[in-house]
Structure 1
Amino acid sequence: MFDSRHIKTFHAVVTAGSYSAAARALGYTQPAITQQMKALERSVGTPLFTRVGRRMRLTEAGEALARHAEVILDSLAAARQQMTSLTRLRAGRVRVCAFPSAGATLIPEALARLAADHPGVRVELLEGEPPDSLGRVVRGECDITLAFTYPGLHEQIPEELAEIPLLEDQLTVVLPLGHPLARRRAVKLSDLAEERWIAGCLRCRTNFLHECAEQGFAPDIAFTTDDNLVVQSLVAEGLGVAMMPGLVLSFLRHDKITGRALDPASRRQVSAYVLREHLKIPATALVLDELKAVAARRVGC
């Protein structure tokens, strides 16, 4: 195994033509140069130099190593430069997987802040719902995933993941604007027991059925879709009502619908998940910090 310091000294000896000239160029003593070259020859297992009178000449092994030395040193310099860029956040890539309502709310603001302060850090955005999105982090398909959990479902998180809580997202009921219960500030699920419902992803649907059962009824689910805009359109046309996360209220696109809080209040936990050993990667830590900052402002609003 070569020591990079020995390769650098060897290259200096070859370039300068002697141990003494290399010592002057590097600011070393000549005995230090001699010691390093002996150590390098021991690593190689053969002499690299031979003396012809007062002159030094490369052996066949020395000539072979000389051809590689400059390339090795250039590669090391490039590697050091790239590592410096990564650690000082001048460069880096972070793959973030987010569920749709987080992708429409938390992610854009966090990435805008990141782009302004650290334009060399590239973030790639993927979309996925838990629990599949958690598996993508474990499999190395993304670096960070945003996911949500419901307190009543006792969901298991892979033990290799670190959880970074971001916010509690209050659930709401989305109703057509003319619905009789739209005049209330908060609505009980049981008051909507006779309505047709629109359900979302598997995890949301499971929680919805659980909460309805807690209030003593089984909902009539007429439609199932993961697309928030489709849900809004169906509600706007009076085809059903839906239980949706509070994050969705910030990007309602229909003036024919309205959101009302649940009574009693119901929430889901929104968190970021990352492999524990990746928490110290500078670019990953930076993206997490931006997400936490954006989430904190939403909680304070």
Structure 2
Amino acid sequence: MLDVRRMQVLRAVVTSGSVTAAAANLGYTPSAVSQQVAALEKQAGGALLERVGRGVQPTAAGRLLTEHAAIISKHLAEAETALADLRAGHTGQLAIRYFATAGADLVAPALARLRDEHPGVRVDLKLIDPDDPLPEVVRGRADLAIVVRPPDRLRKGVRLVHLLDDPYRAVLPVGHRLASERVLDLADLADEPWVGSEPPGPCLEPVLDACAAAGFSPNFVVESEDYATAQGFVAAGLGIGLIPRMGLGNRHPGVVVCRVRKPEPIRVIHAAVRETSLAQPALRGLLDALRSVATR
């Protein structure tokens, strides 16, 4: 296999016109330059230089390797520049996964800030819903995912960064016997028919856990995996439901929303990031933007 460093020495000799001149330019001794060229000739299987007067000129093989050495040198310089841009956050790509209700409230404004601060970074953005986006990070297919996950569920190589706590609210049809209450004990809803608004998974767990703590299991009479549809079922009088605050951005006119206590169900939202991706300035910038949006 040809040695790239020796090819660069050969290029210096050819462009300088002599071994002595090349040695002076490289900071080597003429003997060291000659040894490098001789080793390269052994690798190439033939002479690369021939004497002309007091100098040297390349053979056909020497000219060929010199041309390729110039190309390699150009590509290395481009690679160094590209790597520097990547390390500085000027270029690169981030793969981001999220669930639906986090899109408008968290992801969109954070990405707008990322675009302003790192305009050269490409974003691979994908909605993963109703499935859990965390496996995308665990398997290395995403750099960051917005997830609903308690902090004790850690995965090797993945860091969870807390963004916000999103409390669930009771959603009742207008005219319900409890609709005038501002705050409800969760146990007040134990005997009600329930409209499910969450698929099985991390978003449903806080609801089931809170109901269990209040001493009952909800009686789901209607299943829905969409907050807007769930509100429609509630407004029609088919049951009551619990919907997280972030899912109530578009409130149905036929429902009333109340706070819940004893206990208050809360889904804890994190950014899950690959530990190896944290070296990217753009990813750190996105995390800062997400935290800032979540705080507001």
Query: Within 5 Å, which residues of 2 pair with 1:25-174?
Result: 28-29=26-27, 31=28, 35=32, 38-39=35-36, 41-42=38-39, 45-46=42-43, 48-59=48-59, 61-128=61-128, 132-150=132-150, 156-174=153-171
- Deviations 1:141-177, CA, capped at 9 Å, x for gaps: 21101111258xxx63322211111112222222234
Is this contact kept in 2: 1:171–1:262, CA < 8 A?
A: yes
Query: Which residue is equivalent to 1:282?
Result: 281
Query: Which residue is equivalent to 1:207?
Result: 206
Query: Which residue is equivalent to 2:179?
Result: 182
Helix, strand or coil at the partner of 2:161: strand
C-alpha separation in 2, matches of 1:103 and 1:290: 14
| Offset, 1:258 | 3.5
Helix, strand or coil at the partner of 1:182: coil
AA aligned opposite 1:136: E
Is this contact kept in 1: 2:206–2:266, CA < 8 A?
A: no
AA aligned opposite 2:222: F
Query: Which residue is equivalent to 1:192?
Result: 189
AA aligned opposite 1:263: R
C-alpha separation in 1, matches of 2:49 and 2:237: 89
What root-mean-square deviation, in Å, do the aligned CA atoms of Structure 1 and Structure 2 show?
A: 2.9
- TM-score, normalising length from structure 2? 0.84
| Offset, 1:228 | 2.3
Is this contact kept in 2: 1:232–1:252, CA < 8 A?
A: no
- TM-score, normalising length from structure 1? 0.83
Query: Which residue is equivalent to 1:11?
Result: 11
AA aligned opposite 1:73: S
Alpha carbons of structure 1 residues 177 and 23: separation in structure 2 relative to 1, 3 Å: farther
Alpha carbons of structure 1 residues 209 and 38: separation in structure 2 relative to 1, 3 Å: same
Helix, strand or coil at the partner of 2:216: coil
AA aligned opposite 1:292: R
**Structure 1 unpaired stretches of 5+:** none
Query: Which residue is equivalent to 1:241?
Result: 240
**Structure 2 unpaired stretches of 5+:** none
